[in-house]
Amino acid sequence: IMMVSLKREREDDVDDDENEETVSAKIRRGRVVEDKRSRHCPYLDTINSRSVLDFDFEKLCSISLSHINVYACLICGKYFQVGRGLKSHAYTHSVQFTHHVFLNLHTLKFYCLPDNYEIIDSSLEDITYVLKPTFTKQHIGGLDKQGKLYRAYDGTTYLPGIVGLNNIKANDYANVVLQAFCNVPPRNFFLEEENYKGIRRPPGDIMFLLVQRFGELMRKLWNPRNFKAHVSPHEMLQAVVLCSKKNFQITKQGDAVDFMTWFLNALHGALGGTKKTPSILTKVFQGSMRFTKKLPHPDLLPEEKEALLVTEEYQEQMSESTFLFLTLDLPTAPLYKDEKEQLIIPQVPLFNILAKFNGNTEKEYKTYKENFLKRFQLTKLPPYLVFCIKRFTKNNFFVEKNPTIVNFPITNVDLREYLTEEAQVTEKNTTYDLVANIVHDGKPTEGAYRIHVLHHGTGKWYEMQDLQVIDILPQMITLSEAYIQIWKRQEKDVTNNHKA
């Protein structure tokens, strides 16, 4: 038995999860005995600063998405793959730099290298909590009611949920969307891993990784015991790159609306949702509307058009469709300059572009084969309504941005007039307040994203741009080039009505 134990200690990969035989234990007389050094490791005081242990290292680019056999050096913060055996990078690092304390990111166990024994000490619990925070139902239920500031290990104060995210290179388009969803009801669902832990997916399906990483990120953003007042979204973004088949990347700027559209639908599907089966996302964001009328092709002769218009196929049809967000069209920006040779930046009231959904405004839509004349009218309003303001026009040669400023009130936006008569009877509350406002600044391909978020506990607005978090006056929000907005219906206990 002793020979087998010693052989296992010399293996390169001694941490193969369930097949692992703990190196810190010795087999004596048929029973496992704890290594005496485990509770008296002399190197714990070398972890002299937890400021390097917020796990936001850009070195993660070289790390696989799996936590198995990945070790973090708790002295300098570097990550190492392929175990802690004699030939591993972690072992070499411990000898070369005399850094002795390491953490397995999967098992959350601590080890001393090169001696290779497990460290057991309660003083290390704050490190494991940063990696894997947990929340009680009572804690989650009170998140939107408290405004207590917490102090990070580095001395900075922060509000859980109002936390900066690292911009690794060009991922601010994804950061703002993740920060927006951090303050709406799906957050509560993802803070409790038990809500989605038992969802079964087909063998080989990778999309559930998106759910797991999003849950981990939500828990880190709301962690009241963070070492720093910001969090790394790296693992979340690695999952996005993998699950989107590199359509969305960390090193290349993307479009926030495109990312949000894919992300909502991908999460919905990964949670087992379909067109008929709801998920937490459709319960919160999904509404419905009706439209539309088919038009003859414009190249047809007048007599051919007249003949088609009397057929049943070209009569107005009130077909109904669901939506997760509404696209609002901006009026065409002016091409001329004013007397000071400056480009005119026009302004338009929110209710002007909402007129698209009044049931009277007609707009022509073209596809490859057919033309449609659509009139939209809402038939159901969701608890949280998402607006996407269409700022970009794309063609084969370039992307053009419309800089029009949308004037909107922060609170009490009533959408009753955009509902059908039947829906006006059934919908009791149709008034919304703004809770998140994503902004695009600069040129279409070179611009940057930031977000305004309402903190429900304090009632204050904050602006976040990657790591920067500042408070902002509500009046300043309406001066920005809004791109995505999330509005909350004025109802009591909205968040409590949308549990798994």
* Same domain (yes/no): 297, 410: yes
Please list, in sequence order, all residues whose beta carbon lies within 8 angstroms of the beta carbon of residue 222, skipping any fewer than 6 positions away: 133, 135, 143, 160, 161, 182, 187, 191
* Same domain (yes/no): 115, 238: no
* Same domain (yes/no): 190, 306: no
* Same domain (yes/no): 481, 364: yes
Domain CATH for 106: 3.30.40.10
* Same domain (yes/no): 148, 236: yes
Inside any domain, residue 25: no
Count of Cβ atoms closer than 10 Å to residue 22 Cβ: 18
Calculate the alpha carbon distances from 179 to 250, 255, 358, 495 in Å.
16, 15, 31, 17
Q: How many structural domains does the chain have?
A: 3
* Same domain (yes/no): 341, 456: yes
Inside any domain, residue 119: yes
* Same domain (yes/no): 120, 145: no
Domain closes at, from 246, 264, 280: 280
| H or E stretch at 74 | none
* Same domain (yes/no): 332, 478: yes
Cα distance between residue 79 and residue 57, in whole Å: 9
Inside any domain, residue 215: yes
Inside any domain, residue 12: no
Say how far residue 451 (Cα) sits from the centre of its chain: 13
* Same domain (yes/no): 182, 216: yes
pTM of the full structure: 0.83
Tens digit of pLDDT at every position of the chain (500 positions): 333 333 333 343 444 433 344 444 444 444 456 788 999 999 999 886 566 665 654 444 344 445 568 898 998 888 888 889 999 999 999 999 999 999 998 889 999 999 999 999 998 998 889 888 999 999 999 998 888 999 988 788 999 999 999 888 889 999 999 999 998 989 999 999 999 988 888 888 899 999 999 999 999 999 999 888 889 898 899 999 999 999 999 888 999 999 999 999 999 999 999 999 999 999 999 999 987 666 556 666 777 767 776 776 666 667 788 999 999 999 987 766 555 556 678 899 999 999 999 988 877 777 666 666 778 899 999 999 999 999 998 877 788 899 999 999 999 999 999 999 999 999 989 999 999 999 999 988 788 999 999 999 999 999 999 999 999 999 999 999 999 999 999 975 444 444 43
Inside any domain, residue 24: no
Write out the residue range of the structural domain in which residue 231 sits.
133-280
Inside any domain, residue 37: no
* Same domain (yes/no): 103, 142: no
* Same domain (yes/no): 160, 232: yes
Domain closes at, from 60, 93, 128: 128
| H or E stretch at 308 | helix 302-309
* Same domain (yes/no): 291, 177: no
